[in-house]
Chain A
Amino acid sequence: MENPYLPYPARIDSVVTETEDRNLKTFKLVFLNSEDRGKFIHRAGQFAELSVAGKGEIPIGIASSPTEQGYLLFTVNQVGVVTGALHQMEAGDTIGVRGPLGNWYPWERMEGKNVVIIGGGFAFTTLRASIIYMLHPENRSRFGDITVIYGARTPGMLLYKDELAAWNERDDIRMHITVDAADDPDWKYNVGFVPTITQEAAPSAKEAYALICGPPIMIKFTLPILSELGFPPERIIMSLEMRMKCGIGMCGRCNIGTEYVCKDGPVFDLAHMSRLPNEY
């Protein structure tokens, strides 16, 4: 049995600063040992533990799609010791990757269905992986309409700006990008809160799943809108990533009722979550 705490060594291939406040960076990682690449088979929605020697490790959603071969992407918000150390690292530096961990979005259940993706701020990483996965030529026909509603504070705080712009030009995905305020006269998307834009976009709930990931207060305002649109709790899928630490259900820090977010989640549907204590 392999030690579940042992990370794979990976080299930082590139670092992209995503946002105008410079607090969000995307790290492209390549495994140092080619056999590790074969062991790391993930699905969109999963996370991994990133470790910096002497600093510790943190759980981070995998931003790359399984269809993106040969590398992994992680978008990291600088908030603490490990993320602060990561943000000081550059291409060529080595870090540890442990995973993939947790469950994933219900791809089997969503096959043949319409998918509505709702994200806010930097909680768009595993949603980005999901969009890339569904738009892959081998997968696109396996899903119906794809609608994306994504919001951030300002245009400069949106993640993956080039990809958002490219998706906006496609006719096989409906994009609704929004910010809280815009002083850019060329801003061509929406201004407003994600729940308001969701109500306005009014994606049909017929044969549709909603994947939602964002700050709790955004989710709180969005859930009633989805309910009004007719989405049943079983088809509202959320990713909880708070409080996770060890990633394998051992430390108990992310325990909610009978579940461990890291091991039984982080993906839960609303019907399941409503049976858990309201601690998330």
Chain B
Amino acid sequence: MVELDDLKAIILLSHLTDPMLEKLVDITLTMEHSAGDYIFRDGDYARYLYAIIEGKVGLELEKTANVPVMMDTIGRGRTFGFSALVDTEQKKYTTHARVLADTKLFAWEGTELEMLFYQHYEMGFLFMKRIAKIAKTRLQIRNVQFLDIYG
């Protein structure tokens, strides 16, 4: 059983009200993966949005075939797999997601989230507004990293 407090620990969801989170509980799945598992690979159909309850996941890109570069590690409270919510013709993940330490996740099917948001616009607005903020922050950080600030 998913508890509201567990959902509140997810940064993406921290601005939703309790009634909104209760609606989310019904479509929240929990998953567990062992270190070394791939949750998804670059090009896979983007079915789920994920949030980490415990553990760590690395997002990798292949510089050349079979030469992965880790671009980000996602830990407790953070979210990945936004492609599941981006309404393109073919939803595809754009990185590998490799489990670095045994990991427990929440997962939401993108199509179910969309259905929920069509029924509850305010919740959808707040959710997607938060996604936009997280995406903006990640873009800012990626820009900063281009500067090679530690040099």
Contact = CB atoms under 8 A, between A and B. Distances in A.
B50 to A, nearest CB: 15
Interface of A: 120-122, 151-153, 157, 178, 180-183, 185, 187-193, 195-197, 199-202, 214-215, 217-218, 221
Contact of B148 (A153, A185, A201): A153
Contact of B149 (A178, A201, A218): A218
A85 B68 CA distance: 39
Interface centre among A151, A190, A192, A199, by most chain B C-beta atoms within 10 angstroms, is: A192
Contacts of B58: 191
A215 to B, nearest CB: 4
B interface, by DSSP: helix, strand, loop or mixed? mixed
A121 B75 contact: no
Among A120, A122, A191, A214, residue most surrounded by chain B Cβ atoms (within 10 Å): A191
A192 B150 contact: no
Contacts of B69: 181-183
Contacts of A188: 100
Nearest to B141: A193
B63, B69, B75, B147 — most chain A CB neighbours (10 Å)? B75
B81 interface: no
Given A196-B141, A200-B75, A185 B68 contact: yes
A96 B16 CA distance: 61
Given A183-B63, A183-B67, A200-B78, A192 B72 contact: yes
A202 to B, nearest CB: 8
A120 B150 contact: yes
A17 B43 CA distance: 41
Given A183-B63, A200-B78, A217 B147 contact: yes
Given A153-B150, A178-B73, A192-B73, 5 more contacts: A183-B70, A189-B73, A190-B56, A193-B144, A214-B150
Contacts of A153: 148, 150-151
